[in-house]
Structure formats: C-alpha cells, structure tokens
Structure 1
Amino acid sequence: MGDERISKHDLILVASPFQGHMTPMLQLGSILHSKGFSITITHTKLNSPLPSNHPHFNFLPLFDNFSSIDASANFTNFVQLLNDNCRMQLQQLLTQKIQQNDHQITIIHDNIMYFAQEVATNLNVRSIVFRSCSASYMPAFLALPKLHQQAHLPVQDTMLHKLVPDLYPLRYKDLPFNNTSTEVLKEMLTLSNHITNPSAIIWNTMDFLENASLTNLQHHYHIPIFAIGPLNEMAQCPSTSFLEEDTYCISWLDKQAPRSVVYVSLGSLATMDEKDLAETAWGLASSKQPFLWVVRPGSVKGSDWIEFLPDGFLEEIEGRGLVLKWAPQKQVLAHSSVGGFWSHCGWNSTLESISQGVPMICRPFFGDQYVNSRYLSYVWQVGLELECLERQVIVSTIRRLLVDDEGEETRKRANALKEKAKYSLCKGGSSFNSLSNLVEFILANSTCS
C-alpha cells in the first residue's frame, strides 16, 4: 500500500450526538488517521467534541437547532429532525470541499445520521455505515417487523421468558424495544428503512465474539462487513466524554483490596426513580463489598444529583463506598481492585469490560442492551443477570460475583475473552486483518462509477 494513495483520500466521518455513538466514531477516526488518512469529523453543535482534544482532525460543525437531548422525548422525532436539519448543510459544505481540491472522498456515517447517505449519493461518492451496536443486536432488530405482524410485540407478560423462534438464545424479554408502545415501535422500524444502499458496514466487534451473527448479517446485506473491534483498545485518543471525569476515584481504588470493588455505572442516558435508587443504595451497602457508584446529575428523575439518596446511606458506607458524578471508565476497569462491573450493558461498556477481563452484573434499560445482557450472561457467561432491583437480590448477585466460587469461574471466562480480544488485534488476528481490508476497500471504492 503506497502512502501517496492514502494522502489523496479524505474521510468524512459523520458523528451522532449520543455519547455511546460519538466515542467509537472518534476512536475510529483516530485509527484511520494512524493509517495516513485525512480525517474530518462532521458533528452537530449539540454535544460537539472538543477539537483541542483531537488536533489531528478537521472539524465540520452542523447547526442542528437543538440545545439538549431529552431522554423522555420522542426519540424517532428527534432523529428525524436532526437528519432534516443537517442534510443540506453537509451537502453544501462537501460540495465546496470537492471543488477546492482533487482528493477522493469517502463518507463514513453513524447509522443514526442516515442523511449522509443521501448526500453521498447526490455527490457521487461512496458511503460506509458505522454501527456502534453489537452485531448480535441486528438480527433481533431485523426480526421486529415480523414479530409485530404476528402480534408478539409489545411483549405480553406470559411470553417474557419464552425463547423467540429463529433468534436463539434470545427470549422475548431480550428483544430490543420489548416494552415500547406499538406506535413507537412502528416509528423505529420506519427509521431503520432510511439506510438502503451503503457500500459496506463497519462494526465495532470481534469475529471470535460474534461470528454467527456476523455471518448471518453478511448473508442479509450482501455487502462487505468489517469487524474491527474493540476500537477502545485499538485507538490512541484522549477522553471523549461529554461529562467531566472525576479522577479522584483512582487514588481511592488504590487503597482497596485486589478484585474487591464493584463498579456501578449505568451509562449516559438511563434514568431511575427514587424507589430504584433506594434499593440500589441499600443493596450496595448491605453487600459489605467496597463499591464505586456513578450517579449522573439528573439520572434520578427530578434530582440535581444525590439529594434523593436515602437518609443514613452516606454515613453507612463511609470509607467503603464512593459516589461520584462520572468516572474515567477505561482507567477504572483496568484497575486491579475492580472485581466486577454492574452495567447497563451498552456496547461500549461491554467491550471495555471484556477488554479488561472484568466480569459483569447485567441490568439493561433499553435498545440493544437487552440483547447484550443475554449474550453476556448466557452465551459468553462472563456476566450475571440482575433480575430485579430489590436490595436482597442485589446483595446476592454482588456476592455471587465477588465472593462465591461462581464468581471465580466467571472471572476465568472473562480473562479468557480478554486474551482472545488482545490476540484479535495482533498481526494475523481477525480485527487486524479486517482493518487492513477496510483500508484497501476505501482506496479501491472511493468514488462511484
């Protein structure tokens, strides 16, 4: 591969304003930049990345007319407006860019930012979709129209624990959007139809982890699929967090015993009510294990931060528990004192945990998290499913993972996955090879014929 070919290619990465999507897109940009490509990050003004953290990238802001993401608002309406507001801006900006130099352009866009594909078609350049979810999520998502037609969605209580035909090992309760209304479900399916003819798909995953799902998807899409994860281990880039990370927790972890701490973080969007907060608090306290608990400001409905914690809780856990607003998660998971990760099972968190060999407690909230939880607990067997937010169940699950023999076996499997993930990134490994193939694909397919 000659440097001259790469130097005449510009990659336009179109990022979405969600933390779980922005982080891997910036990681992907860092990896492709290390291969010699010029990288332009096209992003909304909402939740825009900090250019000073990524001095090697060009940044192209789009004015989206949003000031915040309301987690309780209609998601599909938000995404539709986001795409409508950004489409013409991107087309005008890229038209100017094409006129100013003779470089080849390839657009790589987040699947939520589907307007970029229409722009690519209009400008006669290739588009590649980047998916930041698990590959195992997609067969379940693609099955939703049929399941809805069969009146299996929304899922009835009597069906929750039954296996879904043709989607083993998923139960009906593991389906994405299993508890949403029929109207919302229809809107989600409509959104999915916007992406029609990309030239390829990039997936943040590993072949050994999701081989069956990737094979099924290859048969479904009939276009190249490049599994090049885990991006969090491949990329050399600074923090991509929208929230300020509290690094004091690292010195606190330094004082804890090896593999004794349960780290609790439920992602950037999940919310809970006062009752769930209280049960979580007393479950952590009663487990008698040290814990690091991330409680985002506003993550409890109607709160500024931790004012809804139950009376006496902070006094009870003094010296044994630490509550903070946001943590440097990669550093935390890499710390020798962390013995388990209680997670919402977002895909970035899942990959970060697998990369460090940290077993998980799985408590999903929405979307692909249900699928990820099922694979973590049932297929890969590196996580324990937390069935409900009741303090005694929480105590039992934490102790099963951190104290009992079951936890030791789970940890051994997690360490085995960690080693496989590491190997996949080495020369000759599947992700290493897939990245090389992606680079060649971009160079050979930059402009439509």
Structure 2
Amino acid sequence: MAGTPRKPHAIMIPYPYQGHINPFVSLAMKLAAQGFTITFVNTQSVHCRISRAQKWIDGSDIFAGARDSGLDIRYATVSDGFPLGFDRSLNHDQFVEGLIHVFSAHVDELVANLADSDPPVTCLIADTFYVWASAIAEKHNLVSVSFWTEPALVLSLYYHLDLLKENGHFGSQEKRQDIIDYIPGVGTIKPTDLTSYLQADEIWTVVHRVIYRAFEDVKKADIIICNTVRELEYNTLAALHRKQPTYAIGPIVSDFTNQTVATSLWSETDCTPWLNEKPNGSVLYVSFGSHAHTTSKEDIWEIAHGLALSGVNFVWVVRPDIVNSNDAKFLPVGFENSIKGRGLIVRWCSQMKVMSHPAIGGFMSHCGWNSVLESIWCKVPLICFPLFTDQFTNRKLVVNDWKIGINLCDRPSITREEVKDKVKYLMSGQTSEELRNTIKKVSSTMKNALMSSGSSEENFHLFIENVKAQMNKKDGLAFEVRGEPLNHVWAPPAVNLREQTI
C-alpha cells in the first residue's frame, strides 16, 4: 500500500575472508531476530570451501537451521569473477584486483535480480573494504550501510588518511617518526602502531588502492556500524559520529547466538577431549589467524623451540599455508615428538570453543580483531605477535590502552628465549595476576554493553531505527529517530574513559 512503511530487507555481503564472514553471519542472525528479512551473499568460492570443510555433498544452505527456527534468512552465492579452481591465496593481488573491478558487476546483477523479491530489498549492508557499495546502493535506491569489522581506531586512521598525508606520516619521503596527535578522537599514536599498510614504503599496491577507494566510498554511506564497544573506544567513536552516523554494536562474536551456522573455511579438530585432561588455566592457545602468510619459517622455528623450552601445555593451530614459502615441512625436526602429552598441533579448530574451555589460560595471537574480541569475551590474556594489516594497531589497544596483554617482540625477528620467557610469564598465575584482573573488568564492560540497557544494544536499536528512517526517506515518507531529527548527533556524557574502560 502506498505510504505504508516497508519491512526492512537487507542484502549482506561480507569480504570473502574468514575474519569478515564470521561477524557478518552473527549480525545477520541478530537482525533477522529483530524482524529483518536477510539475503546473505557468499561468493561461490567461499561457499564451496565451507561445503568441503563440512563434508557436504548436496551444496547445503548454511542458514537452513536458522530458517527452521523462524528467522527469514535467505542465502545466495555469486561469482567473484574467478574459476572455482583458481588459487586466491597464491594469486592474492590478482584476486583483489578482481574484487575491485569485476566482482561489483556480479553483485549488481544479483541485486537487480532481487528487485521483485517479497519483501522488496531496501538495504545493502556491505563490508567497508568494498569500493563500490555506495554506487550499487544508490543505483538501486537502497539504504547504504557500511559494516566495519575492525576497531574504530583503525577506521578513524584510514578515514583521516588525508591528515596523515598532509603531516608527512604517510606517503611522504620525509616519513616522520614522531608522535601523531592530530587525528580527531584518537589522542596520540606512534607511527609504529599504525597498520602495516600505513607504515609501508610502497603505497601503490593493490591493497593500498583498495584502502584509498574504500575510505572515500565509506564517506558516502548512510550509516556506519562498527564491531566494537562504545566504552572501549569512546572518544574515537564520538569523533566519527560527528562526521556521519556511526554506531558501535559489538562485540559481534561467534557465540552471539545459540544458532549454529557453518562458517569455517577449514575442517575443524575437536580439542575438547585433550583439553579435558589438563588442569584449569594450564594451556596456552596459539593461533595466528586465518590469513597469516607473512610468517617466516625462522619465526615459526623460534616459536616452536620457545614453546618446547617453556614447559607449558599448549594447543597450536598450524595451517599448511602459514609460512611465506612453499616449504611444507616448516616445523623443527623432532618437534612434535618432543612435546607429546603437553602439546597439541591442529590445522584448524573452533576458536571460541577452545578459548572458552577452563583449561585455557593464555592466548598467543596475531591480534586479529575477532581474536582480540573473543579473548576478552573469554577473559584470556594475550601475548601479541602482530603480522600485518590492523594487527599492529590492535596490539596498541591490547597492550597500551587496555593493558590486557603483553608484547612478544618489538624487533623484526624473535628468539626462542624471548618466546619461552613471555610464555612462562603469561601462564604464571601469580606474575600475570594484574593482566587477568584487568581483562575480567574489560570483559565485564564488553558483556554489559550487550545487556538490554547496554550501549551496544541501545546503538543496535538506534541503528535499526535509522535504517527504517532512511527507507522512509527514500520512499518519500516522513521520518524521525525516537522523536529526534535524523541528523541528531549522539553527544556522549562526560566520563572518565579510563575508569569506564577498566
């Protein structure tokens, strides 16, 4: 009926990497529980990898169980422009070029084909790293939502790339190394705490071109949502919100819902029987994420020797492609025999299932954002070993700002003695007591944000109201958000950030 507000129907498109797919799936579940119709889009390649990991033979729909429980989540796959047999990891740069120039045409075709769906599509929720999202949303008269799956601090650094350039901290022959203190809402940050791409000498790689275009595109979005917590990145979020509507709705972690949706791109080993035999807090979990190809064989050897020397129990996720070489045998000779009984090496596992086990007492991590959030959720302090992208900036938050972890190394290479000492420190309940007490407080702050009166839950509902208001605006209907104009700027009350954070 003309003049009647439509039911929201969002197309959701994650970036085709594990760390982006997981929060998108959890958000889809939560939006569907609030009455949204969701069409979730994976690339055909991602879907095939999930199917192989789950040993499906019938091309199962990952959201079939969610629909059985009453959630209106539809599932679609679309070509990323490459054959299924194309090695996207080995040919990374060519693949990313395709995501820039080719993938958008396939997405555009899919959106056009959904034009007659019931209910009609009203909203596009796309990963911030897609450079074409606002153009597709505008073409099809959809509300454009940019979903940022990393911390607000990293979003703000990329958002204000022009300031870094103007001041010679990026893209300059001068390449200043003094403290950066001019990014709105950020306070101060050292150049060594910038993302790897902002520290790089070569600034015209394919990833840099994605960053440049994506962070011009995000400024055209109707709404930005962030997988973070207002209390943990208070000033940064407030500054971003003054630019355009920005909502912190995190943490969006994989146990966000009791519904089980298959998302893993690798077959998972169940570590529970092994962990059940270990004392509480005695096991170190070691994982460098789903996209670690920058690890050297030398670093892996030193970590292995350091773990062996520490005498600590550990679970180590070692993917076959973890090192930046074609050497399939990158662990030291005899290592696996030397750690029998106290070391478990697996190719992949459910991280939240492992981290939430009472035997886990610490996490040696690359500091991917999902890993940081999950570590806080499970109250497990970290040893930080960032490898690339946002991980260096995430380490700053973990070690310097929130004080819930320690740094493994500040030098280009690491030593086994360093690994041994840091592991023994973290896993000693007495010496790391302050870290453990602090992460409990940060975890409490995080979980409180998801309570019915918490900041993330409040922001989530404000975000939904804003989506509906923007839908009405596009339909020519009157719109307000809780009685206030849509351009109302969230003005945070004055608080002591340190006290509220920990």
Instruction: Name the structure 2 match of 1:293.
Output: 316
Q: For 1:117-266, what aligned pairs fall within 5 Å after superposition?
A: 117-153=134-170, 162-166=178-182, 167-176=186-195, 177=197, 178-184=199-205, 187=209, 188-219=211-242, 221-222=243-244, 224-232=245-253, 233-238=255-260, 239-247=262-270, 249-266=271-288
- Cα offset, 1:155, TM superposition: 9.6
Within the candidate set 43, 53, 67, 2:62 is matched to 53
Tell me, yes or no, if the aligned pair for 2:81 and 2:103 is still in contact at 8 Å: no
Give the CA RMSD over aligned residues.
2.5
Larger CA deviation: 146-155 vs 175-184: 146-155
Q: For 1:213-362, what aligned pairs fall within 5 Å after superposition?
A: 213-219=236-242, 221-222=243-244, 224-232=245-253, 233-238=255-260, 239-247=262-270, 249-271=271-293, 272-303=295-326, 307-362=329-384
Indicate the structure with greater helix content.
1
Q: Provide structure 1 residue ranges, at least 5 long, that are not aligned to the other structure.
A: none
Which one-letter code corresponds to 1:124 in the other structure? N
Cα distance in 1 for partners of 2:386, 2:324 equals 18
Tell me, yes or no, if the aligned pair for 1:155 and 1:173 is still in contact at 8 Å: no
Deviations along 1:348-380, one digit per CA (max 9) or x if unpaired, are: 111111111110011111111111101100110
- Cα offset, 1:183, TM superposition: 2.6
Within the candidate set 70, 75, 80, 1:64 is matched to 80
Cα distance in 1 for partners of 2:162, 2:276 equals 50
Q: For 1:368-383, what aligned pairs fall within 5 Å after superposition?
A: 368-383=390-405
Q: TM-score, structure 2 length as denominator?
A: 0.81
Larger CA deviation: 135-144 vs 24-33: 135-144
Local SS of the residue matching 1:218: helix
- Cα offset, 1:154, TM superposition: 6.9
- Percentage of matched positions with identical amino acids: 29
Q: Provide structure 2 residue ranges, at least 5 long, that are not aligned to the other structure.
A: 52-59, 68-72, 477-502
Local SS of the residue matching 1:445: helix
Deviations along 1:37-83, one digit per CA (max 9) or x if unpaired, are: 11101222221355533113312222112333226743xx6434214
Tell me, yes or no, if the aligned pair for 2:130 and 2:214 is still in contact at 8 Å: no
Tell me, yes or no, if the aligned pair for 2:63 and 2:75 is still in contact at 8 Å: no
- Cα offset, 1:101, TM superposition: 4.2
Cα distance in 1 for partners of 2:326, 2:313 equals 25
Cα distance in 1 for partners of 2:327, 2:320 equals 5
Tell me, yes or no, if the aligned pair for 2:80 and 2:106 is still in contact at 8 Å: no
Cα distance in 2 for partners of 1:64, 1:92 equals 12
Larger CA deviation: 24-33 vs 233-242: 233-242
Instruction: Name the structure 2 match of 1:106.
Output: 123
Which one-letter code corresponds to 2:212 in the other structure? L
Cα distance in 2 for partners of 1:164, 1:236 equals 43
Instruction: Name the structure 1 match of 2:14.
Output: 15
| Inter-CA distance 144–92: structure 2 relative to 1 (3 Å threshold) | closer
Local SS of the residue matching 1:339: strand
| Inter-CA distance 102–339: structure 2 relative to 1 (3 Å threshold) | closer
Q: TM-score, structure 1 length as denominator?
A: 0.90
- Alignment pair present for 1:93 and 2:127: no
Cα distance in 2 for partners of 1:445, 1:68 equals 40
Tell me, yes or no, if the aligned pair for 1:283 and 1:392 is still in contact at 8 Å: yes
Tell me, yes or no, if the aligned pair for 1:14 and 1:113 is still in contact at 8 Å: no
Cα distance in 2 for partners of 1:147, 1:197 equals 21
- Cα offset, 1:152, TM superposition: 3.4
